[in-house]
Amino acid sequence: MIRRLLAACALGSCPALASTARSQAIPQAQLREPLTIMAPAAPGGGWDQTARLMQQVIQGAALAPSAQVVNAAGAAGTIGLARFVTAERGNGNALLVTGLVMVSGIVTNHSPVTLADVTPIARLSGEFEVIVVPAASPIRSLPDLVAELRRNPRGVSWGGGSAGGTDEILARLIADAVGVSRDSVNYVAYSGGGQALASILGGHVTAGVSGLGEFAGQIESGALRALAISSPERIAAAPTIPTLIESGVDVSLMNWRGVVAPPGITRAERARLEALVAAMAGAPAWREALARNGWTDLFLGADAFGDFIRDETRRIGPLVAQRKASAVPWGVGIVVAGTLALLLVGARGGSLPAASIGARSRVTLLGIALAALVGLPGLIGFVPSAAVAFTCIAHAFGSTRVLRNGAIGTAFAVAAFLLFAKVLGIALPPLPF
């Protein structure tokens, strides 16, 4: 029995002993060059907290001459991911903090750069989500929040991290569990934990949702009231916070975080970074911080972490992609197509040649244009849908040059797609190729 117990612990079933064995089994790698750790979010969020904790532990254990944290916020971490892949390619002294939020963000933001473009190093920790309200809120418990959500779904606003991330996923899962359409969830996304916290404390949203570590200080001080946590059962780091399940909402969810290296590094560089991170994760200061922040030790080495990322991408991708297209894609398309069609009519003198097309045909064409913008973006992408709509609208207003209209509509739809999806960060259905 004792022999089997020791064998199980050696395989990682006992987190504390596994962590100790990990730090002893892998030699502490000391980098000769300064280490750069990129947090792909604004200061104050979970990725930033992870990066700065890594910085402290690595410098405290003298695992590198120095460690610098760089923030690159936006689009659920995909902006930082793209910058990391481009700027740090081949750099064996750089790490990027990643996690579940980035897996979903890659899908929702149609990122051309994915986690397949980086080098997995290690999964580090996991964290449960907590639902909070300001201390002055009349909402005293999760059942109160659920009752308000059922009464007026759009009237309940949820503040959290980037669109499509763990925070939004949890809010939508809660809505599903209590019989409210997930598409009616009024979720307000912020690029960093600091912005979200300020909005929640200021009463600009009904409730906040994020990792326990991001709200722990405010919960302890009494500035925020914790309604529920997303763990299957109560956790030692927050024993007074009831779970969603015991509050009548059958939902549990854990956010995980890990680190990756740039593409193009050598096997020796990957092994050295894996040894460095393993030594850091076995340090007492790291384990104490995990307990203090309510984070769970989920360490996985490079190969296993790579397999895990691929599994998570297959699991989360379809879930996020199933979100119905909102009014934004076809609303943008209507504005683009309608404006261009009116400009075309104006360029032709503003006349509507009624003799060339009847009123019934005009209404039919406008109906086809609207149907294309509502129903086609999710199937063939925003650009083709907007181009079809523009061609129909232009023809309805008297222009018979179909090929020219299609070319103009496509050009302006591409410009609109790039403006909204890449500059303004508003997700639109991607190009179909």
> Which one has a higher pLDDT value, 353 or 103?
103
Q: Domain check: are 22 and 106 in the same one?
A: yes
Q: Domain check: are 212 and 199 in the same one?
A: yes
Half-sphere exposure of 228 (CA within 13 A, CB side): 26
Residue 235 lies in a domain: no
**Alpha-carbon span 176 to 72, nearest angstrom:** 33
CATH number of the domain that residue 167 is part of: 3.40.190.10
What is the predicted pLDDT for the residue at 399?
67
Q: What are the pLDDT digits (tens) for 391-431?
A: 777 777 766 676 777 777 777 777 776 665 555 444 444 44
Q: Domain check: are 39 and 120 in the same one?
A: yes
pLDDT of 98 strictly over 60:
yes
Residue with the two structure tokens 């994760």: 281
How many structural domains compose the chain?
A: 3
Residue 234 lies in a domain: no
Q: What percent of the chain has pLDDT over 70?
A: 74
What is the predicted pLDDT for the residue at 393?
76
pLDDT of 348 strictly over 60:
no
Residue 77 lies in a domain: yes
pLDDT of 6 strictly over 90:
no
Name the least confident of 8-17, 41-50, 161-170, 225-234: 8-17
Half-sphere exposure of 71 (CA within 13 A, CB side): 16
**Alpha-carbon span 96 to 83, nearest angstrom:** 10
Task: Read off the pLDDT of each residue in 85-104 and give the average, rounded to a whole number.
Answer: 95
**Residue 293 pLDDT level (bands cut at 50, 70, 90):** confident
What is the predicted pLDDT for the residue at 260?
98
What is the predicted pLDDT for the residue at 5?
33
**Alpha-carbon span 13 to 297, nearest angstrom:** 11
Q: Domain check: are 66 and 183 in the same one?
A: no
Q: Domain check: are 43 and 65 in the same one?
A: yes
pLDDT of 359 strictly over 60:
yes
Residue 94 lies in a domain: yes
Q: Domain check: are 107 and 17 in the same one?
A: yes
What is the predicted pLDDT for the residue at 292?
86
Write down which residue in 299, 321, 343 finishes a domain: 321
**H/E element, 158:** strand 157-160
**H/E element, 186:** strand 186-189
Residue 363 lies in a domain: yes
Query: Strands 157-160 and 186-189: what pairing?
Result: parallel
Name the least confident of 96-100, 102-106, 136-140, 218-222: 102-106
Please state, rounded to an integer, the average pLDDT across all residues of the chain.
80
Q: Domain check: are 76 and 133 in the same one?
A: no
What is the predicted pLDDT for the residue at 430?
46
Q: Which two tokens stand for residue 126?
A: 């996991």
Q: What are the pLDDT digits (tens) for 223-271?
A: 999 999 999 899 888 899 999 999 999 998 889 999 999 999 999 999 9
Residue 428 lies in a domain: no
What is the predicted pLDDT for the residue at 373?
61
Residue-number span of the structural domain to which 172 is assigned? 128-229
**H/E element, 251:** none
Q: Domain check: are 143 and 179 in the same one?
A: yes
**Residue 213 pLDDT level (bands cut at 50, 70, 90):** confident
Write down which residue in 275, 302, 321 finishes a domain: 321
Name the least confident of 268-272, 281-285, 312-316: 312-316
Q: Domain check: are 189 and 123 in the same one?
A: no
**Alpha-carbon span 427 to 320, nearest angstrom:** 12
Q: Which DSSP string do the residues of 176-220 spell out, in sequence order?
A: HHTT--GGG-EEEE-SSHHHHHHHHHTTSSSEEEEEHHHHHHHHH
What is the predicted pLDDT for the residue at 372?
64
What is the predicted pLDDT for the residue at 29?
54
* 199-237 b/e (C-beta count within 10 Å ≥ 16 → b): bbbeeebbbbbbbbbbbbebbeeebbbbbbbbbeeeeeb
Highest mean pLDDT (candidates 2-16, 96-110, 161-175, 323-337): 96-110
Q: Which DSSP string do the residues of 23-40 spell out, in sequence order?
A: HHHS-----SS-EEEEES
**Residue 130 pLDDT level (bands cut at 50, 70, 90):** very high
Q: Which of 77, 246, 86, 65 is nearest to 166 (CA)?
A: 77
CA 235 to chain centre: 25
Half-sphere exposure of 308 (CA within 13 A, CB side): 22
Q: Domain check: are 316 and 357 in the same one?
A: no
CATH number of the domain that residue 14 is part of: 3.40.190.150
Q: Domain check: are 307 and 351 in the same one?
A: no
**Residue 80 pLDDT level (bands cut at 50, 70, 90):** very high
Write down which residue in 273, 299, 321 finishes a domain: 321
Name the least confident of 92-101, 145-154, 347-356: 347-356
Question: Which 8-state DSSP code applies to residue 172?
Answer: H
What is the predicted pLDDT for the residue at 321?
65
What is the predicted pLDDT for the residue at 56?
97
Kindly tell me the burial class for residue 90, based on how many C-beta atoms sit within 10 Å of its own C-beta (0-12, 13-18, 19 or more). Answer: exposed
**Alpha-carbon span 67 to 55, nearest angstrom:** 5
What is the predicted pLDDT for the residue at 358?
66
Query: Strands 35-39 and 186-189: what pairing?
Result: unpaired
Q: Domain check: are 115 and 151 in the same one?
A: no
Quickly count: other Cβ atoms within 10 Å of residue 86's Cβ. Answer: 12
pTM score, whole prediction: 0.61
**Alpha-carbon span 229 to 209, nearest angstrom:** 9
Contact (Cβ atoms closer than 8 angstroms) between residue 295 and residue 343: no
Contact (Cβ atoms closer than 8 angstroms) between residue 158 and residue 166: no
Name the least confident of 103-112, 116-125, 137-146: 103-112
Residue 387 lies in a domain: yes
Task: Read off the pLDDT of each residue in 174-192 and give the average, rounded to a whole number.
Answer: 87
**Alpha-carbon span 229 to 7, nearest angstrom:** 33
